[in-house]
Amino acid sequence: MLSTLRIDPQAATPIYLQLVQQIAQCIASGEWRSGDEVPSVRMVAQRFGINPMTISKAYSELARQGWLMAQRGKPMRVADCPPEEAKQLLQTDLHQLVYTAKRLGIDLQTVQAELAKRWEEQDDRD
Amino acid sequence: MLSTLRIDPQAATPIYLQLVQQIAQCIASGEWRSGDEVPSVRMVAQRFGINPMTISKAYSELARQGWLMAQRGKPMRVADCPPEEAKQLLQTDLHQLVYTAKRLGIDLQTVQAELAKRWEEQDDRD
Amino acid sequence: MLSTLRIDPQAATPIYLQLVQQIAQCIASGEWRSGDEVPSVRMVAQRFGINPMTISKAYSELARQGWLMAQRGKPMRVADCPPEEAKQLLQTDLHQLVYTAKRLGIDLQTVQAELAKRWEEQDDRD
Amino acid sequence: MLSTLRIDPQAATPIYLQLVQQIAQCIASGEWRSGDEVPSVRMVAQRFGINPMTISKAYSELARQGWLMAQRGKPMRVADCPPEEAKQLLQTDLHQLVYTAKRLGIDLQTVQAELAKRWEEQDDRD
DNA sequence: GTGGTCTAGACCACA
DNA sequence: GTGGTCTAGACCACA
């Protein structure tokens, strides 16, 4: 499960937030399945050379948002029913796009065309 | 020109960045025209109750990106030729959207539909 | 006797404490009677899918508080004379309530009213 | 504002939670007023001899819950409109009390009487 | 000045 | 083994 995560310590967004966003997407996309055990704080810490508390902070936030379940003394698990926030992730991006496009005076048709073009070119990885 | 700007001191994004993004869009959209004098640091500061240093930082960044021109001793002006970055603004948002959609396993058709729906509903102001 | 207990592995309060509190209440309320044999550690463990050590810890704590009697080699039993702590359970909750109410500046009359209302609505199970 | 807070490093409840609960009550009770600047993380840390991160964690949680407002670079403030959770504080305690009383088979009248008695005796401080 | 993030490392309750 | 809390101390962006 760890092989999907990409951490960039140099990035502007804090490390713990990078983890939160990426793991949320892993769950929303079904890559991490409900009930799966999540890699332990220590494992992730060692794997990426990050302080355990940083991962701990990310996991806590994910539990608070409902993506993960915490059970005392046991490893965390992917929550049973991925929350509504899954769809929310896309909506946030759509909102930003529409906002920018309208401000720039670009019409829907052009945006749609650009979107289609980009869809072809852009690797899933980026 | 100030009436378009909306500053949210509570937001996660720093105030100076809010200014940078919004002013860049004002210029890209033609709302602020090439050659126009930009409102002085003091004016903006007073208008929004923000520290002048914050506006100053935003203006410097905008000048660096080529949106504004600084002339010693004179007020800043909107740059002659709005840079290529105008289109870049949209591309950044498109990139983020495509990335999320692909991760979630949503197909292009669905995204286009959602985009069209959102386009109708979303006010230019939001 | 087990059918009364409700364990929530997700809850913030440790499982062993959930057991302690609920069993103490079962005894205080007379549901579990003096002299009754208590379900074995293994039975409880199996029934709820909990680690036996967790139940063991709860039983020890209950014995220490005087709710249960341990007899070498024999199953534990409900203690002969339910301790004074029975009343104590209510007092603890009252203390917390009064503390909060006074801090919030709510008067006794209002609290009494709220209490009566809640008394009607709240199921015994909750 | 600091003189109201009482921290017990020995207590079972984590220090940061003690802070969260007490400050929430200070706000709900009107002792800390909307718009007031909150003592800085460093001040509280020094005052109680606690690590700044512990206070920081408490403040973040309070901001997340809506009790405090964070503004980048400026001191935190008590939020404009204390959230609905104010009433929630009392309800939580009431729920616990009713639950216990019913389990013990105590009737409403008795509980009310005990409540009144306790109300007289119990100091606001406890 | 402010809060936010991160590290390195300790100790804890819990299972 | 697990996650949760806390310390001491550093560095950062921001105002």
Q: Strand runs (DSSP E) across C1-126, as ranges?
A: 68-71, 74-78
Taking contacts as CB-CB distances below 8 angstroms, the residues of chain C near D111 are 90, 115, 119
Q: Report the C-alpha gap between D3 and D47 in whole angstroms.
A: 10
DSSP string for residues in D39-55: PPHHHHHHHHT--HHHH
Q: Which of A9-23, B69-83, C90-104 has the lowest mean pLDDT?
A: B69-83
**Alpha-carbon distances, residue B100 vs A28, C90, D85 (angstroms):** 10, 52, 34
Please give the structure tokens belonging to residue C61: 């704590």
Total residues belonging to chain A: 126
Q: Report the C-alpha gap between A12 and A28 in whole angstroms.
A: 24
Q: What is the pLDDT of residues B73-94, one digit of tens each?
A: 788 888 876 666 667 788 888 9
pLDDT at A124 > cutoff 70:
no
Q: Report the C-alpha gap between B47 and B11 in whole angstroms.
A: 18
Beta bridge partners of A37: A77
CATH architecture of the domain formed by C1-80: Orthogonal Bundle (1.10)
Task: Provide the CA A51 distance to its chain's centre, in angstroms.
Answer: 20
| 49-108 on C, CB < 7 Å from strand E | 50-51, 53-54, 57
Q: What is the pLDDT of residues D75-114, one digit of tens each?
A: 999 997 666 667 778 888 898 899 888 878 888 999 999 9
Question: CA at A53, C1' at E6: how many angstroms apart?
Answer: 9
Which residue has the closest alpha carbon to F7 C1'?
Answer: D51
Angle between helices B15-28 and B85-104 (to 10 degrees): 110
List chains adjacent to chain D, taking adjacency as at least 3 C-beta pairs closer than 8 Å. B, C
- Predicted confidence at residue B40, as pLDDT, reads 87
User: What letter represents residue B120's amino acid?
Assistant: E
B70 in helix, strand or coil? strand
The pTM of the full predicted model, rounded to 2 decimals, is 0.77
